[in-house]
Amino acid sequence: MTTHETLFKYFGYRSFRPAQEALINAQLSGIDVLGVMPTGAGKSICFQIPALMLSGVTIVISPLISLMKDQVFQLQRAKIPAAFINSSLGAEQYKRVLFNAGQGEYKIIYVAPERLETDDFQSFAAGTEISLIAIDEAHCVSQWGQDFRPSYLRIESFVKKLNKRPILGAFTATATADVKKDIISLLGLNNPLNLTTGFDRPNLYFGVEKPKNKSKYFHELTDSRRQMCGVVYCSTRKTVDALTAQLRRRGILASRYHAGLEDEERRQNQDDFIQNKISVMVATNAFGMGIDKPDVRYVIHYNIPKNLEGHYQEAGRAGRDGQPAECVVLFSNEDIRTAEFFIDGSEKNEELTQRQRKAVSNRDAARLDKMIRYCEIESCLRSYILGYFGERQRGMCGNCSNCNKPSWWQAFKMGLR
């Protein structure tokens, strides 16, 4: 089959999005790639299509258990033989998956980066034809990235131990110039095709609001959108639970998602959201990876995100159908202290050396300062975001709360939007 036939057969699309086809063709030609594509641009297809067309198995390295489960579930629904290997599997489940993998039963296997260092996985890899290794969330390899994980630094060592070097594909939604350089160097990409599709999403409206009474303002906002689908991001599980309960009491079909819930409840709540059984998902940043729901009309950050990378990635879950959608931060000084608390907690990460903890903490603090600046500036918000990621936009965009006067919420109430 051709790439277009494979795309339609397994995923139901008749055409590729920008950069997808070039990245896919490069990998099929044996060329390493680095794809920096905003949330919603279809990164997964860039390695899933080659995985189906290459002769051997594809290993997808992913940092999040929930993301692995979601991706594998979607692949299995599409009749694609796939599995995941991570700490959520019991000993017997792990043995069975690894045995089946050795028998060639899967085309795609998702693994946590830490799993690459184990003797049994290395033994499996040594006896298996691995055609492609796809590194998802590739920014995790860089200390300049917002989610640095030292285990990503050992991917290159794993690749060098293989009998035959596979094609390498690195993918991320957000990467500054420094992070892209690190990805290429630290993962050992060999003269890769390096494509960044551009960060601008013209259909998204960006807003920052500073209400005196955040709770009242939030409920006015969501009450006016009862017929719309939205995601509300909070910094803590406690806030998620509280807002979910409040929305339900107001008659809004809302559910919750955070790491403190049982797997089954998270899965059910996520399915209810995708199937439109609920209209609002209230969540921590644990929610959203791999979720491709086209009709999300708004994303509200009830608390300030820790960095622009996280804000842009989460905001990008709105308007995937190309229709207008809003992405709003409700800013308060109290949120800054919460964000600083989480940054201080990074110094307790035992996976990092003392030097790494200090470096990550300093860089996280610098990113938070950039996020606070975003909430305080009077110039165009879109230009600020694009400039942060190395792009430039002249003048005012006309589609953010700083460009649009009166304010977005006033305009909404007046029926101007």
- Judge whether 300 and 231 are in contact, CB under 8 Å: yes
How far apart, in whole angstroms, are the C-alpha atoms of residue 230 and residue 260?
A: 21
pLDDT recorded at residue 255: 97
Task: For residue 360, give the CATH number of its domain.
Answer: 3.40.50.300
- Judge whether 195 and 22 are in contact, CB under 8 Å: yes
- Reported as a pLDDT band with limits 50, 70 and 90, residue 379 is very high
In sequence order, which residues have a C-beta less than 8 Å from that of residue 162 and are 6 or more positions away?
Answer: 125, 126, 130
List the domain range (segments joined by +) for residue 114: 3-196
User: Do residues 171 and 210 both lie within one domain?
Assistant: no
- Reported as a pLDDT band with limits 50, 70 and 90, residue 230 is very high
Residue-averaged pLDDT of the chain: 88
DSSP H/E element including 33: strand 33-36
How far apart, in whole angstroms, are the C-alpha atoms of residue 79 and residue 367?
A: 41
User: Do residues 292 and 187 both lie within one domain?
Assistant: no
User: Do residues 180 and 210 both lie within one domain?
Assistant: no
Give me the mean pLDDT over the 378-402 stretch: 88
User: Do residues 53 and 97 both lie within one domain?
Assistant: yes
* Best-predicted range by mean pLDDT (37-51, 57-71, 84-98, 375-389): 375-389
The separation between CA 112 and the C-alpha centre of its own chain, rounded to angstroms, equals: 16
Q: What does the angle CA 70 – CA 277 – CA 289 come to, to the nearest 5 degrees? A: 25
pLDDT recorded at residue 250: 96
Q: What does the angle CA 394 – CA 398 – CA 399 come to, to the nearest 5 degrees? A: 115
User: pLDDT tens digit string along 120-157?
Assistant: 899 999 989 999 999 998 988 887 666 778 889 899 99
Boundary of a domain, candidates 167, 196, 225: 196
Number of domains into which the chain is organized = 2
- Reported as a pLDDT band with limits 50, 70 and 90, residue 289 is low
Lowest mean pLDDT among 26-30, 51-55, 225-229, 362-366: 362-366
Q: How many CA atoms lie within 13 A of 131 on its CB side?
A: 20
Boundary of a domain, candidates 196, 230, 265: 196
Q: Token pair of 151, please? A: 């285990």
User: Do residues 372 and 249 both lie within one domain?
Assistant: yes
Give me the mean pLDDT over the 78-107 stretch: 88
User: Do residues 388 and 271 both lie within one domain?
Assistant: yes
User: Do residues 166 and 256 both lie within one domain?
Assistant: no
User: Do residues 13 and 72 both lie within one domain?
Assistant: yes
User: Do residues 56 and 123 both lie within one domain?
Assistant: yes
pLDDT recorded at residue 414: 47
In sequence order, which residues have a C-beta less than 8 Å from that of residue 151 and are 6 or more positions away?
Answer: 112, 113, 114, 116, 117, 351
| Amino acid at position 376, single letter | E
391 has a pLDDT exceeding 60: yes
Strand partners, 229: 296
pLDDT recorded at residue 89: 83
203 has a pLDDT exceeding 90: yes
pLDDT recorded at residue 417: 41
User: pLDDT tens digit string along 313-350?
Assistant: 899 899 988 899 999 999 998 889 888 888 776 555 66
Q: What percent of the chain has pLDDT over 90?
A: 56
User: pLDDT tens digit string along 160-181?
Assistant: 999 999 999 999 987 888 889 9
Q: What percent of the chain has pLDDT over 70?
A: 93
User: Do residues 172 and 49 both lie within one domain?
Assistant: yes
Strand partners, 232: 282, 300
pLDDT recorded at residue 320: 87
Considering only CA atoms, which of 291, 316, 294, 320 is closest in space to residue 305?
316
Considering only CA atoms, which of 129, 118, 113, 120 is closest in space to residue 68?
113
Sign of CA dihedral 235, 241, 244, 250: negative
DSSP string, 260-307: TS-HHHHHHHHHHHHTTS-SEEEE-TTS-TT---TTEEEEEESS--SS
User: pLDDT tens digit string along 205-224?
Assistant: 999 999 999 999 999 999 99
Boundary of a domain, candidates 196, 229, 253: 196
Neighbours of 152 (CB within 10 A): 26
User: Do residues 94 and 113 both lie within one domain?
Assistant: yes
195 has a pLDDT exceeding 80: yes
User: Do residues 142 and 270 both lie within one domain?
Assistant: no
- Reported as a pLDDT band with limits 50, 70 and 90, residue 51 is very high
| Amino acid at position 358, single letter | K
